[in-house]
């Protein structure tokens, strides 16, 4: 039905000429060289100051040294306060794990979840393809659930049920439900009401929620982003104590 295809190059904006955020690069470069005098001649003052703040919180100002596995402590603290401010919840530092981008976090979780062929991961269709790729790579079972184009690519509880039942009928042990919000490639933003249903579903089926929220700042419709974390805490007991959640952001 289409006369032409517009190449949007999903998830790769710099390839289309979008300029990267300079600040992050300057902070990183300043951390790695740790020569404030020289850096001040090249980079913006706020980037060099930020680098100095990080380095003064790292042992021996050694940004290249191995850190604890969950990441450099001062950055973990910044992530904690970001989530607390965003969601108005209390966050334990032990629940934060820094990775090299969201993909590494997703990969760690998928490796953890898939033990054998019968372990299934519920994946939205259409989706950001790492989920199907990793399910195949780790030799698990894909359990597709279809987003509804007529609802702007939203999800429905009935479709989740259909997909889950179809999988269990073929002997699959469903372990997790992937929710990409805002959606890639659809741009759909789930409401808190939608998320309540997702959480109820995960609770009923006792499966983990993998919430891919990397596009939380990229919203092009008149809706507000609400995290699964916030939805869980607002739903309260028994959901907040029982539903397991891993959220990804980068
Ligand atoms: C939905 C979604 N999740 C995760 C990622 C990967 O994020 P990162 O580049 O931080 O690894 C992408 C990148 O395109 C994405 O579209």
Q: Is 213 in the pocket of ligand 1 (CB under 6 A)?
A: no
The yes-or-no answer to whether 1-66 and 102-248 have a common fold is: no
How far apart are the C-alpha atoms of 153 and 164, rounded to whole Å?
A: 19
- The confidence score (pLDDT) of residue 7 equals 67
For domain 102-248, give the fold: 3.40.640
Higher pLDDT among residues 158 and 13, named by residue: 158
Q: What is the mean pLDDT of residues 23-41?
A: 94
> Is the pLDDT assigned to residue 36 strictly greater than 90?
no
pLDDT band with cut points at 50, 70 and 90 for residue 8? low
Going from the Cα of 183 to the center of ligand 1, the distance in angstroms, rounded, reads 11
- The confidence score (pLDDT) of residue 20 equals 86
Token pair for 6: 């517009």
Q: Is 13 in the pocket of ligand 1 (CB under 6 A)?
A: no
Burial 66-102 (b: 16+ CB within 10 A, else e): eeeeeebeebbeebbeebeebbeeebeeeebeebeeb
Q: Tens digits of per-residue pLDDT, 89-123?
A: 999 999 999 999 999 999 999 999 999 999 999 99
| Residue with CA nearest ligand 1 atom 16 | 11
Token pair for 187: 């741009």
Q: Is 129 in the pocket of ligand 1 (CB under 6 A)?
A: no
Going from the Cα of 215 to the center of ligand 1, the distance in angstroms, rounded, reads 8
- The confidence score (pLDDT) of residue 11 equals 65
- The confidence score (pLDDT) of residue 169 equals 98
Q: Is 99 in the pocket of ligand 1 (CB under 6 A)?
A: no
Percentage of residues in the chain with pLDDT exceeding 90?
84
CATH of domain 1-66: 1.10.287.1970
| Residue with CA nearest ligand 1 atom 14 | 11
Q: Is 171 in the pocket of ligand 1 (CB under 6 A)?
A: no
Higher pLDDT among residues 164 and 129, named by residue: 164
- The confidence score (pLDDT) of residue 12 equals 74
What is the residue-averaged pLDDT of the chain?
94
Angle 153-144-234 from CA coordinates, rounded to 5°: 60
Return the SS3 of 171: coil
Domain boundaries, the chain: 1-66, 102-248
- The confidence score (pLDDT) of residue 131 equals 96
Q: What is the mean pLDDT of residues 228-233?
A: 96
Beta-bridge mates of residue 173: 119
> Is the pLDDT assigned to residue 6 strictly greater than 80?
no
Q: Tens digits of per-residue pLDDT, 176-222?
A: 999 999 998 888 999 999 999 999 999 999 999 999 999 999 888 88
Q: Is 184 in the pocket of ligand 1 (CB under 6 A)?
A: yes
Q: Is 180 in the pocket of ligand 1 (CB under 6 A)?
A: yes
| Residue with CA nearest ligand 1 atom 12 | 11
């Amino acid at each position: 039905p289409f006369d032409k295809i517009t190449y949007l190059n999903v998830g790769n904006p710099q390839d289309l000429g979008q300029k990267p955020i300079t600040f992050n690069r300057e902070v990183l470069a300043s951390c790695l060289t740790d020569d404030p005098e020289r850096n001040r001649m090249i980079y913006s003052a706020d980037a060099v100051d930020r680098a100095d703040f990080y380095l003064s919180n790292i042992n021996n100002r050694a940004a290249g040294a191995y850190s604890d596995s969950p990441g450099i402590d001062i950055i973990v603290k910044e992530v904690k306060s970001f989530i607390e401010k965003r969601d108005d919840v209390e966050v334990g530092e032990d629940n934060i794990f820094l990775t090299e981008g969201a993909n590494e976090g997703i990969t760690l979780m998928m490796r953890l979840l898939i033990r054998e062929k019968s372990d299934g991961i519920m994946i939205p269709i259409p989706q950001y393809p790492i989920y199907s790729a990793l399910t195949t790579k780790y030799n698990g079972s894909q359990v597709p659930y279809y987003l509804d184009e007529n609802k702007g690519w939203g999800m429905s509880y009935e479709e989740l049920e259909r997909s889950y039942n179809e999988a269990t009928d073929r002997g699959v042990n469903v372990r997790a439900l992937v929710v990409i919000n805002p959606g890639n490639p659809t741009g759909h933003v789930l409401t808190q009401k939608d998320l309540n249903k997702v959480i109820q579903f995960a609770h009923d089926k006792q499966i983990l929620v993998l919430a891919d929220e990397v596009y939380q700042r990229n919203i092009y419709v008149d809706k507000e982003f609400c995290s699964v974390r916030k939805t869980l805490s607002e739903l309260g007991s028994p959901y907040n104590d029982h539903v397991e959640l891993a959220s990804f952001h980068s």
